[in-house]
Amino acid sequence: MSDAASQIAVPVPPKELERAPLVLNNRSFGWISDRVSAITEGKAPKWWWAAFIPSFTLLGVLGAMLFYQATTGVGVWGNHHPTMWGWDIINFVWWIGIGHAGTLISAILFLLRQRWRTGVNRAAEAMTIFAVMCAGIYPGMHVGRVWFDWWLFPIPTYQGLWPQFRSPLMWDVFAVSTYFTVSVLFWYVGLIPDLATLRDRAKSKIRQFLYGLGALGWTGSNRHWSNYEKAYLILAGVSTPLVLSVHSIVSLDFAVSQLPGWHTTIFPPYFVAGAVFSGFGMVLTLLIPLRSMCKLEDIITMRHVDVMCKVTLATGSIVGYAYAMEFFIAWYSGSAVERFAFINRAMGPYWWGYWIMVTCNVVVPQLFWFPKIRRSLLVVFVLSILVNVGMWFERFVIVVISLHREFLPSNWDYFKPTWVDIMTYLGTFGLFFTCFLLFMRFLPMIAVSEVKGVTAQADPHHPAAKGNGGGH
């Protein structure tokens, strides 16, 4: 027998089935930590200051608006009968929805073994945390007397009264605060090995001390990695049902009520899909400029942009389906009030809001079917902003249009936001971008250890492992 007969034929995939590598240009391990850490080292670039100063100013505006609202009363907002939920609840749902992409990337894609997540998960998780912070402000302020916010938590008042757990609003308190806490913990656990990287390359004593404190004495021991990876897996495992539950419970704030337009069973899945849709929109809006500003094109590659566009397309299509189904059920229900609520959305006084929503959320994502569009960064950037415009109007449609014309026509009214509403909303952008810019300046924006782990040379059985993995 010849030698050839004893060999196994290894099928070589055809060229068109080969996937683009996750880290381009065969970058070494050292290159990855150098490039990502460099963003946090040295002087801040001019563009960073150019972004930070306006963001910080807007944060000041937020502080002023919240102070004005807290000292004067909720009347400074446009909310009044019958539209008792206005921009505050729209923006609450909008921001918390944006957060969902971060958890989806970090948890669900981890469980699905989508290795491309490593390039974007750190920044997306940070986005989640800051978006939830922005969201949390609204219900906290909407209660009117902010100094009684602690009534939301299971702490008895002086009369011994407890929160009332039959209300979905209480479920929401637990969902959102758990979401925030677990997101922060998940993010921090992911950061530990990378903080150790920053500690070990720190030149100044103060950096060494602060990053060392954050790294908790991490050495990279495999006995530690073994427990660490298990903990990370569990966190991903629990964050998955968590992220699905958060927006479901947010939707129950609406769906448990008896209001036409709100009282529907489609709300939980439809809210979750919309949340992921808007979140990916925001991830694209943030990362497309950042990848070129920070020269991370080899880590956040065109393949990453491409898959994120596809997720946006998929979730956008689910959202479009949900809009159609809502209309169908309104007609099919045979309830005149329900039917009216939906016709009023599309053809009532706020028809423009409804059609902006449909254009941005149903038509715009369909453009992502075309590879040419997915490959044009400028177009993707513009479309990703439109996605979030559309999602803002979706919440506007749900909150304002459903409320402004309720059962009694004598109760009908036309809602208008006040300048305080608008400035508070702009102010939350200040909070969001201030936090995000500080994050990218002081913490590794890319999950360094995870990205190293998905390179070809990280796999000990890959031919690249034997090559010089340490060179530059």
Partner 1 sequence: MPEIPKTFGLLAEFDNTADVLHAAENVRDAGFRKWDVYMPFPIHGMDKAMGLKNSKVGWFGFLGGVTGYTTGMLMIWWMNAIDYPVLIGGKPMFSPHGAFPPSYELTILFTAFGAIGGMLFLNRLPRLHHPLLKHKRFALATHDKFFIVIETADPKYSEAETRKLLAAAGSQRIEMVEE
What is the rounded CA–CA span in Å between residue 102 and residue 399? 25
Q: Does 333 bind partner 1 (CB under 8 A)?
A: no
Instruction: Provide φ and ψ at 80, rounded to 5°.
Output: -155, 165
One of 201, 263, 310, 339 touching partner 1 (CB under 8 A): 201
What is the rounded CA–CA span in Å between residue 448 and residue 225? 15
Task: Choose the binding region for partner 1 from 297-305, 348-356, 435-443, 459-467 (rule: CB under 8 A).
Answer: 459-467
Asked if 32 contacts 296 with a C-beta cutoff of 8 angstroms, the reply is no
What is the rounded CA–CA span in Å between residue 110 and residue 150? 35
Element containing residue 101 per DSSP (H, E): helix 87-103
One of 44, 53, 84, 189 touching partner 1 (CB under 8 A): 189
Asked if 362 contacts 387 with a C-beta cutoff of 8 angstroms, the reply is no
Q: Does 467 bind partner 1 (CB under 8 A)?
A: yes
For residue 102, the Cα-to-chain-centroid distance in whole angstroms is: 4
Encoding tokens for residue 365? 């994502």
Q: Does 121 bind partner 1 (CB under 8 A)?
A: no
Other CB atoms within a 10 A radius of the CB of residue 324 amount to 10
Q: Quote the least distance from Cβ 236 to partner 1, whole Å.
A: 10
Give residues 30-49 in contact with partner 1 (rule: CB under 8 A). Answer: 30, 33
Task: Choose the binding region for partner 1 from 74-82, 134-142, 216-224, 355-363 (rule: CB under 8 A).
Answer: 216-224
> Of 196 and 401, which CB lies nearer to partner 1 in the complex structure?
196
One of 223, 334, 336, 410 touching partner 1 (CB under 8 A): 223
Sign of the Cα pseudo-torsion (415, 420, 426, 428, in order): negative
Q: Does 135 bind partner 1 (CB under 8 A)?
A: no
One of 64, 82, 152, 178 touching partner 1 (CB under 8 A): 178
Give residues 237-266 in contact with partner 1 (rule: CB under 8 A). Answer: 238-239, 241-242, 245, 249, 252
Q: Quote the least distance from Cβ 119 to partner 1, whole Å.
A: 14
Name the nearest CA neighbour of 291 among 381, 206, 356, 224: 381
One of 47, 49, 67, 162 touching partner 1 (CB under 8 A): 162
Q: Give the SS3 label for residue 1.
A: coil
Task: Choose the binding region for partner 1 from 69-77, 183-191, 307-315, 397-405 (rule: CB under 8 A).
Answer: 183-191
Give residues 96-115 in contact with partner 1 (rule: CB under 8 A). Answer: none
